[in-house]
């Protein structure tokens, strides 16, 4: 089946380089964070870009699930993406999603979060490979 949407972003220079989308909307210099012994500064990095994408996608999935269940909610998702050493295999991602859901009780909100996690394409891509912790805040 053909994708309903696809895009391309090209990276050059790795963590101390540049990322540019095919349409030019993303045109950013990336730098290794100081915490990883890089220069840091007012630049983005792959983890920030991934966190932005995952937060937006999960929030969309959550709102989709709520609409299908005829629940009116206001939500906000903060994604924290970390890297940890994984022995000889290099690095692994660690993910925490802090989600605020207004308009329903906490039990309903938790059920919506579970369904959103099953629906979100980012969650599906990470399933059984990356530990994703979801907190209702």
Please give the domain boundaries of the chain with CATH numbers for all domains. Answer: 1-44 (2.20.25.10), 46-136 (3.30.300.20)
Strands lying side by side in the sheet with 9-12: 9-12, 18-21, 27-29
- pLDDT tens, residue by residue, 82-101: 999 988 889 999 999 999 99
Choose among 63, 93, 65: nearest CA to 77: 63
Burial (CB < 10 A; 0-12, 13-18, 19+), residue 115, is middle
Q: How far apart are CA 42 and CA 23, in angstroms?
A: 23
pLDDT, the chain, mean: 97
Q: pTM above the 0.85 mark?
A: yes
Percent share of the chain, pLDDT over 70: 100
Cβ count within 10 A of residue 92:
14
- pLDDT tens, residue by residue, 52-85: 999 999 999 999 999 999 999 999 999 999 999 9
Whole-number pLDDT of residue 74? 98
Whole-number pLDDT of residue 89? 82
Handedness of CA 9, 52, 83, 6 (dihedral sign): negative
What does the buried/exposed string (b/e) look like for 50-88 if buried means 16 or more CB atoms within 10 Å of the residue's CB?
Answer: ebeebbebbbbbbbebbeeeebebebebebebebeeeee
Helix, strand, coil percentages for the chain (3-state, nearest 5):
40, 30, 30
Whole-number pLDDT of residue 134? 98
């Amino acid at each position: 089946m053909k994708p309903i949407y696809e895009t391309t972003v090209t990276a050059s220079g790795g963590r101390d380089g540049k990322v540019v989308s095919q349409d030019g909307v993303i045109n950013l210099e990336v730098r290794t964070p100081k915490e990883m012994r890089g220069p840091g500064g007012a630049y983005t990095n792959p983890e920030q870009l991934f966190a932005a994408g995952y937060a937006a996608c999960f929030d969309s999935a959550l709102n989709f699930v709520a609409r299908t269940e005829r629940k009116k909610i206001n939500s906000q998702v903060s994604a924290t993406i970390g890297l940890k050493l994984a022995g000889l295999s290099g690095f692994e991602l660690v993910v925490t999603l802090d989600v605020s859901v207004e308009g329903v009780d906490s039990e309903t909100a938790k059920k919506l979060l579970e369904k959103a996690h099953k629906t979100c394409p980012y969650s599906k891509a990470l399933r059984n490979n990356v530990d994703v912790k979801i907190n209702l805040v």
